Copies of this chain bind each other. A is one copy, B any other.
């Protein structure tokens, strides 16, 4: 019934899951090798084929290789990161300070994926009840690019410790355009087996079965077979 020509082969399906499980948020393993244009075009095209509310396609892609611009972005990171470090004390602060949280200048390319909040006019289909759907759509584009990058052997790191209004000004963004994701991209020496924050003891992976509810918040699924699958 549902095996009618739209099925994936085992290898194709394995490829998708491999990208999902082996994707990493890369900060430290960047190589300087440039990203060839056909590869870069594939990554951008993957992002452009994300779902978007009302087919709004609110994203733009700013490719950043200018050292001057990157230095300005790095300066904003450093300021924000110094503020963030003050949220922790003692050993936790030491661990925080020991973490490398960006690869802005080591990666061969930075990419800002923006969200144009006025694209598509005043009334975007499906964005009437939840006005943030444009931002959410742009996130889906980020994840498409992130997974495609993994399949191409390219690491991606999302730098979220930046002042967004300063970033908007550095990149000359119009008022209606929000710099949603600032990404560092490049080939890598390796993809780590596990997320760095897990390996370094910052935080553990939560057990999936504790995150699944049945029909209402807090009701555990009355389905031992499913829970057993979720524990694997």
Q: Is the CB of B44 within 8 A of A230?
A: yes
A100 within 8 Å of B (CB atoms): no
With contacts A2-B33, A17-B42, A38-B229 known, what are 18 further pairs, Cβ within 8 A?
A: A3-B153, A6-B153, A8-B15, A11-B11, A12-B14, A15-B15, A25-B51, A48-B211, A50-B143, A57-B205, A60-B212, A80-B129, A84-B123, A99-B125, A101-B125, A129-B160, A171-B216, A177-B217
Contact residues of A between 1 and 55, Cβ < 8 Å to B: 1-4, 6-9, 11-23, 25, 31, 33, 37-38, 40-42, 44-46, 48-51, 53-55
Q: A125 — which chain B residues lie within 8 A by C-beta?
A: 84, 96, 99, 101, 197, 202-203
The minimal Cβ–Cβ distance linking A183 to chain B, given in whole angstroms, is 11
Q: Which of B54, B151, B158, B160 contacts A16 (CB 8 A)?
A: B151
A20 CB to nearest B CB, Å: 5
A1 touches B187 (CB 8 A): yes
Q: Is the CB of B8 within 8 A of A9?
A: no
Q: How far is B51's CA from A25's CA once the two chains are assembled, in angstroms?
A: 7
In the complex, A223 has a CB within 8 A of chain B: yes
Interface residue tally for chain A (C-beta within 8 Å) = 124
> Do B2 and A21 have beta carbons less than 8 Å apart?
no
Task: State whether B12 touches A215 (Cβ < 8 A).
Answer: no
Closest B residue to A145 by beta carbon equals B20
Q: Which residues of B contact A191 (CB under 8 A)?
A: 6
What CA separation (Å) do A65 and B14 show in the bound complex?
A: 29
- Cβ-defined contact, B226 with A87, below 8 A: no
Known: A46-B20, A216-B69. A139 touches B129 (CB 8 A): no
CA distance A140 to B226 in the complex (A): 23
**Can you show 10 pairs from A to B with CB atoms below 8 A apart?**
A1-B33, A2-B33, A15-B15, A20-B144, A60-B217, A66-B215, A120-B203, A128-B161, A140-B146, A147-B147
If the complex has contacts A37-B226, A187-B1, A203-B55, are A160 and B130 also in contact, measured as CB distance less than 8 A? yes
In this assembly, does A98 line the interface, its C-beta being within 8 Å of a C-beta of chain B? Answer: no
**Whole-angstrom distance from the CB of A94 to the nearest CB of chain B?**
14
A158 proximity list for chain B (CB < 8 A):
51
